[in-house]
Amino acid sequence: MIEAQNLTKDYGDKRAVDGLTFRVEPGVVTGFL
């Protein structure tokens, strides 16, 4: 399992991701754009 909690990503002064939380169970293929 892969799990991430409360991720953020900024580009300069712009926040692109704010508070992303997800879990990927074994055997599941997942992609993010």
For the chain, the structural domain boundaries read 1-32
Please give the Cα distance from 20 to 12 (Å, whole number): 19
- Cα separation values, 20 from 3, 31, Å: 11, 14
5, HSE (Cβ side, Cα atoms, 13 Å) = 0
CB neighbour list of residue 6: distance below 8 Å, 6 or more residues apart: 19, 20, 21
**Pairing assessment for the beta strands 2-11 and 14-24 based on DSSP bridges:** antiparallel
| Residue 33 pLDDT level (bands cut at 50, 70, 90) | confident
Averaged pLDDT score across all residues of the chain = 94
pLDDT at 22: 93
